[in-house]
Structure 1
Amino acid sequence: MGNIKKLAGQTIWYGLPTIVQRMLGFVLQLFLTSIFVTEKFGVMTQVYAFISFMNVLFTYGLETSYFRFAQNTDKERLFNTLSISLIVSTTLFALLLIAGSGPLAAMLDLHGQTDLVVLAAGILFFDTLATMPFAKIRQEGRPRKFALVKILTIVTQILLTIFFLVLCPALYKEGHSWMQWFNPEAGVEYFMLANLLASFFGLLYISREFVSFRWLFDKSLWQEVIRYSLPLIIVGLGGMVNEMLSRLIFPKVYPFPDEVTDSQLGIFGANYKLAVLVTVFIQAFRMGAEPFFFNQSRNEDAQHTYARVMKFFVMALGAVFLVVSLFIDFWILFITRGPDKRYAEGMHIVPILAMATVFLGIYYNLTIWYKLTNRNMTGAWITLAGALITVGLNIWWIPQFSYTGSSWATFVCYAFMMTVSYVLGQKYYPVPYDVKRILFYLGLAALIYAGHGWLRSQHPGFWTLQVCGLLGMGIYMAVILFMERSEFTRLLGRRKV
C-alpha cells in the first residue's frame, strides 16, 4: 500500500502545475479577449492545433519508451542514446518546418504568415529537447522538481506575454526611440514569441538534468527502442484525432447556414471545456502512473498493485465526475459571463462528455498491458478503430442531433476503446481488476447524477441545487468510505480496531 500512497502524493504534485496552467490560462484568455479580435483567436487556434499534432511526431514515443527500457537497461546509456536521437531529429524536423514555412502557412490558411510557422518550429524545438530531462525526473520519482520547473515556465510565459502585449505597446505609443523594433500590428506573433522564450527558459530551468549527459550513442539499443516506440506515434495521433476531430467535422456536415453552424459549434466548444476538471485529474495521474507502472512491473505482485490502483483511480474519477456534473449550474456561470447566454443551452452535454472522459481515463490506465508486452501496434489499432467510430458517428449524428450527437459519439468511442483494451489485456496480460466494484462505483455516480438531474427538472432554485449537489457528493463519499474501510485503513497505515 505504500506504493499506492506514494503514487497518490505524486499525482498531487504532477497535478499542481496542470491546475496552475489551467487557471492562469483561463485568466490569460480573459486578458487576450480584450486585445485580440476573433479572427486572431482563430489563427492562434489553428497554429496551436498544428503544434499539438507535430509534437507527437517530434517526440515519436520516446518518453514512454524511456520508462519501458529503464527497467532492464543501463539508465545512463539509455538517456544518452535517446537524448542524442531527439537532439538530432528535433534539429532536422525544425529546419524542415522552417524551410517549408511558406507552403505550410498556405496549407494552414495563415495567409502568408510564415513567421508563425517559424515560431511554431522554435517552440517545438525547445519543448522537445526538454522531453528526456522531464522523463528522467518522472522515472526517478521527483514530482516536486517537475512541478517547480513547470510552474516557473508557466509564470515566465505569462510575464513575457504581459511584456509584449501590454508594456511594449504602451512604451511604443509614448514614442520611445528604442522601441522602433516593435510592430503594433502583430499580436499572435508576440504571444507565440513569449511562448518560444518561455520554452527556452524552461529548458534552461531543467538543464541540470543534462549534467551526466555524454555523446555516447548505442545503435543497437536505439533500433530496439524505435521498434517499440513507432506504433506509439499512431496512438498519439489517433488520440489527437479522437479529441479534436468532432469540432473539425462539425462545420462540414451540419446542414444549416454558416451563422447557425458557428453558433452551435461555439456552444459545443464552450461546454466541452467544462469537462476539463476530469481531464486535469487524468493528466496528473498519467504523469505519475506511467513510470510507476513500469517500475512496478519487476515485482511479483505487480498485477495486484495495478488492480488496486485502478480501483482507487475509478473512485476518484467518480468523485470528479460528480463535481463537474452536480454543479453544472455553477460552472455555467463562467461560460455565460458575457452578453451571450446561449451557451447554457448546451449544458446537458457536459455529463455525457465528463463520463466519456472517465472512460478515456480508465482506458489510459488499461494501456499498460500492451506497453509491457511490447504489443504497441495493437494499441495503435485500438486507437485507429476509435478514430473511425468518431468519424462515422459524427457524420451520422451531427446532422440529426447537432452537438448532442457529437457528444454521444465521443462517449461511444471511448467506451469502445476502454472495453476492447480490457478484453485484450485480460488475454495477454491478465490483471485481477475488481470489475464488480468498479462498475458499482461508476453506476453509483451515474445514479446520483440522474437523481440530481430529475431534481433540476423540477426547478427548485439555484442554491437548493447546490446544497443537493453537496448532499450527493456526501452520499458517494460515505458509500466508498464504508465499502473500502479496510483499504483506507491499510492505506493510512493504521491498525484495524
Structure 2
Amino acid sequence: MSVFKKLFQQTFIYGLATVLPRALAIVLVPLYVEYLAKEEFGIYASLMAFLILGNVVLSYGMETAFFRFINKEASRKKIVQSTALTSLTVSSLLFLVLVLPTRESIASFLEFDSEYITYGLIILTLDALCVLPFVWYRANERPMQYAVIKILNVVINLGCNLFFFLVLPSLASNETESFWNTFYSEENKLAYIFIANLIASACTLVMVLPVYFKIQFKFDHAIWKQMLRYAFPVLIAGIAFSINEAFDKILLKYLLPADIAEAEVGVYAACYKLGVFMTLFATAFRLGIEPFFFNHAENNNAKQTYATITKYFTIFGSCILLIVVVYIDVFKKILIPEAEYWVALSIVPIILLANLCLGIYHNLSVWYKVTDRTRYGAYISVFGAIITLVLNFVLIPILSYMGSAIATLAAYGTMMTISYFFGRKYYKVPYNLKRIGSYLLIAVSFSLLSFYVFEGNLIAGTLLLLVFLLLIVGLERKEVQRIIRR
C-alpha cells in the first residue's frame, strides 16, 4: 500500500472517530436552541471554552512527546509508555483532589453556578485520564479500536442528551413521590448537558482501561524530564491555541455589557457551529497526518510528499469553504432552526476561512516537529494568541462578535504565514505556492460573491461551485491518477 493510500485510510478512520464527536455538537444545537434560552446557551458556550483550556493544561504536551519518544527511544519504548501513563494519571488525580474543594471560589470568581464548575472539574479529570490510551491506539496504528471507543462516547452522550431533554420530562410528574422527579428540573436544563458529558467521559475511561493494564505503571525520572522538556513548548503552544480557539466566547462574556453579554455569546456560539465543518475536516486530517509526519520523516522523498499532502488539503478545504457558504441558508434551517440566532450568520464565512488557515498551518508545522524545534511552534502560537487577545479587546466593544471573528481570522492567517517563512529556513518543503494560492484566492472570491453579492442565491452559488470543481478536476486529474496507480 502506498504512503498516500495508507494515509487516506487512517485519516478516514480517525476522521470518522473525530467527526462524530464534533458532529454531535452540531446535531445537538437544534435541541439546545429549542430548550435553552440564548443566555443559557451562552453560559454553556463560555464554560466549554474554559474546558478546552483545561484539557490542554492537564495533558501538558505529553501527547506529542509520546509520539516523538517512542520513535526516538525505540529500544526503550515500554518504559516511555509507562512513564507517560504514570505522569498523566498522577497529575490528573492530584488536580481533582486539590482543585475540587475550591469550586465555590472558582465559581464566584468566574461568575458561574458552582454546580457547573463541579461537573467541569470532574469531566476534565476523566478526559485527561483517557488521553494516553487514545495516543497509544494512534501510535500503535490501531485506528479501529480508537474509532469504536470514540463513536461509543458519542452514542452515550447523544443518548443521555435525548433522554434528559425529550424523555425525562414525560416520565416526571407533578407528584413529589415520583421517582423521575428526583432527576428532573424544569428550571435547570442546562445542567443536563454537563451531566451527559460526565456520563460519557466516565464510560470512555472504563473502555480504555485495558490499555492501562497493558502499559502498566512504571516511571523513569530521566526519560520523564526529557519528555517534559520536549512537551513544555507544546504545552505553551496548546494554551495559546486554546486562547485562539475559545477565548472569544469568554471575552465576549466579560467585555460586553452584562445585560446582553450571554445572549450575544449564545448567538455567536450557535452560528460558529456552522464553521465546524472545516474544523472537522482539519482535525481529522491532523490526527492522521501527525503520526505520518514522524514515521516518514527519514524517507528520501518526504519533503515532496509533505508538499503534495498540503496542496490537496488546501483543495479539499477550499471546497468545504465554498460549499458551506453557498448552501448556508439550507444549513441554518437544519442546524439552527430558531431564527433569533441567525443575526450572527455574517461570521460564518470568516470563521470557515480562519479554520482553513489553521488547517494549513498544522500541515506546515511539520518542519518544527520533525526537526525537534517545537519551541518555534510555541512562539508562533503565542504570537497568534497575542493577536487574538489584542484584537478581541479592541474590536469587541466596537463590533461585538464580528470583532471576535475578525480576530480569529487574523490570528490563524498570521500563524500560517509565519510558519511558512520559518519552515523555508529550517526544513524547506517545495510547496506549490502558485496552485495553493490560486485555489485559495478563487474559493474566497467565489464565497464572497455568493454570500455578499448574490446573497444566498442557490442557482448562482451552485454555478460558482461547479466552476471551481471543474477547475480542480482539469488541473489535478493527471496527478491524482498517478498517485492512485502507485
Length-normalised TM-score, structure 2: 0.90
Contact 1:46 1:108 in 2 (8 A): no
Partners of 1:97 and 1:117 within 8 A in 2: no
> Displacement of 1:122 after TM fit?
1.9
Structure 1 match to 2:67: 67
Q: CA shift at 1:263, angstroms?
A: 6.5
Match of 2:245 in 1: 243
Q: Which residue of 2 aligns with 1:407?
A: 405
C-alpha separation between the residues in 1 aligned to 2:331 and 2:204?
A: 33
CA displacement, residues 146-199 of structure 1 (integer Å, 9 cap, x when unaligned): 221111111112223344555555444266565575463654444323322211
- The aligned counterpart of 2:474 is 482
**3-state DSSP of counterpart to 2:337:** coil
Change beyond 3 A, Cα 1:276–1:92: same
Pairing of 1:187-336 with structure 2 (within 5 A): 187-250=189-252, 267-334=267-334
* 2: CA distance, partners of 1:38 / 1:313: 35
Structure 1 CA distance, aligned partners of 2:373 and 2:309?
22
2:34 and 2:371 map into 1 onto residues whose CA distance is 51
Distance 1:27 1:175, change over 3 A: farther
- Residue of structure 1 equivalent to 2:375: 377
The Cα offsets for residues 382-407 of structure 1, whole Å up to 9 and x where unpaired, read as 11211222233334444554544443
Establish whether residue 467 from structure 1 lines up as the match of residue 467 from structure 2: no
Deviation of residue 480 (structure 1)? 1.9
- Counterpart CA distance in 2 for 1:21 and 1:428 is 36
Q: Is the 8 A contact 1:104 1:117 kept in 2?
A: yes
Moved more, 347-356 or 214-223: 347-356
TM-aligned CA deviation for residue 134 of structure 1: 0.7
CA deviations 1:60-97 (Å, max 9, x no partner) are 01111111112122332221110011111111011112
Rounded to whole Å, the distance in 2 between the matches of 1:205 and 1:265 is: 35
Match of 1:444 in 2: 442
SS at match of 1:100: helix
Which range is displaced more, 229-238 or 27-36? 27-36
- Aligned in 2, Cα 1:319/1:166: closer, same or farther, shift over 3 Å? closer
Aligned-pair distance for 1:26?
3.4
**Does the aligned pair in 2 maintain the 1:294–1:372 contact within 8 Å?**
yes
- Structure 2: tracts of 5 or more residues without a match: none
**How many angstroms does 1:422 deviate by?**
0.8
The one-letter code matched in structure 2 to 1:480 is I
Distance 2:236 2:134 in 1: 22
For structure 1, which segment, 230-239 or 167-176, has the greater mean C-alpha deviation from structure 2 after superposition? 167-176
Matched residues in 2 for 1:442 and 1:214: separation?
Answer: 48
Give the Å deviation of 1:229: 0.5
Q: What letter corresponds to residue 422 of structure 1 in structure 2?
A: Y
- One-letter code aligned to 1:98: L
* Cα distance change of structure 1 residues 158 and 235 upon mapping to structure 2, 3 Å threshold: same
Q: 1:367: how far off? A: 1.6
Q: Taking structure 1 as reference, are residues 43 and 483 closer, same or farther at Cα in structure 2, changes over 3 Å only?
A: closer
CA-CA distance at 1:302 after TM superposition: 1.9
Matched residue of 1:71: which SS? helix
Q: What's the counterpart of residue 9 of structure 2? A: 9
Q: For 1:477 and 1:212, how far apart are their aligned partners in 2?
A: 48
Q: 1:397 to 1:26 in 2, by over 3 A?
A: closer
Give the counterpart letter for 1:327 in structure 2: Y
How far apart in 1 are the matches of 2:424 and 2:483? 27
Q: Does 1:31 align with 2:31?
A: yes
TM-score, with length taken from structure 1: 0.88
The structure 2 residue matched to 1:429, chosen from 412, 427, 430, is 427
In structure 1, the residue matched to 2:414 is 416
SS at 2:454 equivalent: helix
Pick which of 215-224 and 23-32 moved more.
23-32
Amino acid aligned to 1:80: S
Per-residue displacement from partner, 1:7-45 (whole Å, max 9, x unpaired)? 222222222233333444334333344544455444433
- Higher relative contact order (CA closer than 8 Å, sequence separation 6+): 2
Identity of aligned residues (%): 35
What does 1:144-183 align with in structure 2 at a 5 Å threshold?
144-173=144-173, 181-182=182-183
1:322 and 1:212 map into 2 onto residues whose CA distance is 46
Aligned residue pairs total: 482
- Return 329-338 or 46-55, whichever deviates more: 329-338
Residue in structure 1 matched with residue 87 of structure 2 by the alignment? 85
Point out the more displaced range, 375-384 or 421-430: 375-384
Residue deviations 1:363-396, cap 9 Å, x none? Answer: 1111222222222222212112112222333344
- Residues 135 and 87 (structure 1 numbering): CA distance in 2 closer, same or farther, change over 3 Å? same
Shift of 1:253: 5.6
User: Tell me, what secondary structure is at the counterpart of 2:72?
Assistant: coil
1:17 is paired with a residue whose SS is: helix
How far did 1:278 drift?
A: 0.8
Output the CA distance in 1 between the equivalents of 2:390 and 2:460.
39
Amino acid at match of 2:301: D
The change in CA–CA distance for 1:328 and 1:40 in structure 2 (over 3 A counts) is: closer
Whether the 8 Å CA contact 1:481–1:488 is kept in 2: the answer is no
Question: Larger deviation: 187-196 or 57-66?
Answer: 187-196
Instruction: Determine if contact 1:139/1:292 at 8 Å carries over to the other structure.
Output: no
CA distance change for structure 1 residues 453 and 138 in 2, over 3 Å: closer, same or farther?
same
Q: Supply the distance in 1 between the matched residues of 2:342 and 2:32 (Cα, whole angstroms).
A: 23
- Which residue identity is paired with 2:471? V
Structure 2 SS opposite 1:394: helix
